Amino acid sequence: MSARRLGLPRRAVSQILLTQLAIAAGVAVLATGLFLTPLGAQLDDQAMRRALAIAQSAAADPSLAADLLDSGPDGDGPVQSAADRIRSATGAEYVVVVDLRGIRRSHPDPSRIGLPVSTDPGDALAGREVMEIDDGTLGRSARGKVPLLAADGEIVGAVSVGIAYDSVRERLLGAIPGLLAYAGGALAAGALAAYLLSRRIQRQTRDLAFSDIAGLLSEREAMLHSIREGVIALDRHGRIRLVNDEAARLLGLDPAASGTVAGRALDEVLGAGRTTDVLAGRIDGRDLLTVQGPRVLVANRMPTDDGGAVATLRDRTELEHLGRELDSTRGLIDALRAQDHEHANRLHTLLGLLELDLYEEAVEFVTEVVGVHRSTAEQVTEKVRDPLLAALLVGKTTVAAERGVPLRLAPSTLLPDRVVDPGGLVTITGNLVDNALDAAAGSTAPLVEVELRAEGRTAILMVRDSGPGVPAERREEIFTEGWSTKQPTAHRERGLGLALVRRLAERQGGTVRAGESADGGAEFSVVLPEALR
């Protein structure tokens, strides 16, 4: 049943406050009842013990037994006088002395003297002491009964002492105000604590109703899992609160990971690496690039008021590939433009030779030009049998020539047409050759050498350049996402080529290392086990 049907306030803070007040009041009432119950029993026990003590004290007087034996039932007799004296001194409701036949010898009402008692005196006349709460002719009372012994120890009667139950009740009622004061104080403290807690909850829930909170939660879940952007929520200790479906896909997690990774540390789920450092906030910045598996991701992180953070991920893999293809296309366009210019010069030369009737020289010139290009392509295809890699190297040779950097194949190069993943090897080779061309372009004796060979089913790639090389202390750092010595282009950021090379190599179980070539430049070696059929 809803709060509206019960007439309760709709706001969450008001419902919580009323609930807490009801709980505090219930606890106070329960505690009071639990305290009064044993208190009443304790007061009853005290009254019965007091009545028994008075009866014992009266029975211990030897003159009382002697007077009982020497006199008869008389309202003015010595037994009645002794009983009245004891009753007045102790404040008891009555002190009744009975003989062996159960006949009263004393009573607060003299008219009842000589009559049988209203309760059975058998236990006391049998020598047993009795404590009880019972109803008699004088009403409900706490009683104590003891046998009355003569000087020779023989039982001659019994003494019954009663304390009015009203006095016990008065003591109990007298304790209630103090108890209620304590209970009221506890209730007030509970109400204050409930109020302060409700105010805090009001700030945290922004004074929303429970139905509004439930609706917002459902909407948030639906929104986070439907958007095409990865979202990861972290708490102040770096533990994962939430991973939506897109984030699980981009990070290579199980699609059902949102329910299994919650509460686990980010390092435990993703492992060490740049992606973890970016999401955890150990690397500052906006639109940070990172590589997770085969994907290039753009990450942003926004702290929350409770010390946690929300990180977003966007897939930039396709854009990065397009950017690299654009770079390659621009390089090819530049090469074609240069070739067009060179081709025009050669045509002009050929035309001049023909106009001068130097036919033999024209034939030799054409043969030489065609032979140079043909020999380059034949040399590459002879040593590199895979068509994709061969086409790449032929194109890179042309680009390198236009940039004034000789690109040659090492004498030991020989790669059969048995590559398992030619696309991946093309990407690795292309990135390393591009970096080598950039490094060698500024050297005094530019040169780039590529070596591709097979050892069983293992493919080995070596790319050497005549550039400045890589310092030994930075040969691991250069494989980190975002590290680059080049200025970023207009359409994409730098610092991903070597990171992708390492990722692609590691995905095939291989390794990538940077070293020093024989002439002092850089040498990159890639070993790919099981890369050949």
Query: If you average pLDDT over residues 398-409, what whole number do you get?
Result: 81
The four Cα atoms 30, 33, 34, 36 give a dihedral, to 10 degrees, of: 160
Residue 225: its pLDDT value, please? 62
Mean pLDDT of 279-308: 79
Q: Looking at domain 223-315, what is its CATH homologous superfamily?
A: PAS domain (3.30.450.20)
pLDDT, average across residues 354-382: 68
383 vs 81: CA distance, rounded Å:
141
Residues forming CATH 3.30.450.20 domain(s) in the chain: 14-171, 223-315
**What band does 470 get if pLDDT is binned at 50, 70 and 90?**
confident
Which parts of 325-419 are beta strand (E)?
407-409
Is 371's pLDDT higher than 60?
no
Question: 451 pLDDT band (50/70/90 cuts)?
Answer: very high
CATH class assigned to 319-528: alpha beta
Question: What dihedral angle (degrees, nearest 10) is formed by the CA atoms of 106, 109, 112, 114?
Answer: 30
Confidence class for position 526, pLDDT limits 50, 70, 90: very high
Least confident of 195-204, 274-283, 474-483: 195-204
Q: How does pLDDT run across 121-148, given as a tens digit for each residue?
A: 888 888 899 888 776 666 667 888 999 8
- What tokens appear for 508 in the block? 């095939």
**pLDDT level of residue 158 (50, 70, 90 thresholds):** very high
Rounded Cα gap, residues 158 and 233, in angstroms: 86
Of residues 162 and 136, more confidently modeled: 162
More confident residue, 183 or 96: 96
Q: Kindly report the average pLDDT of the chain as a whole number.
A: 76
Q: What is the pLDDT of residue 463?
A: 92
Question: What is the model's pLDDT at position 6?
Answer: 47
Per-residue pLDDT, 346: 65
Contact 24, 152 (CB under 8 A): no
Fold of 14-171: Beta-Lactamase (3.30.450)
**Average pLDDT over every residue of 289-316:** 80
- Indicate where the chain has its CATH 3.30.565.10 domain(s): 319-528
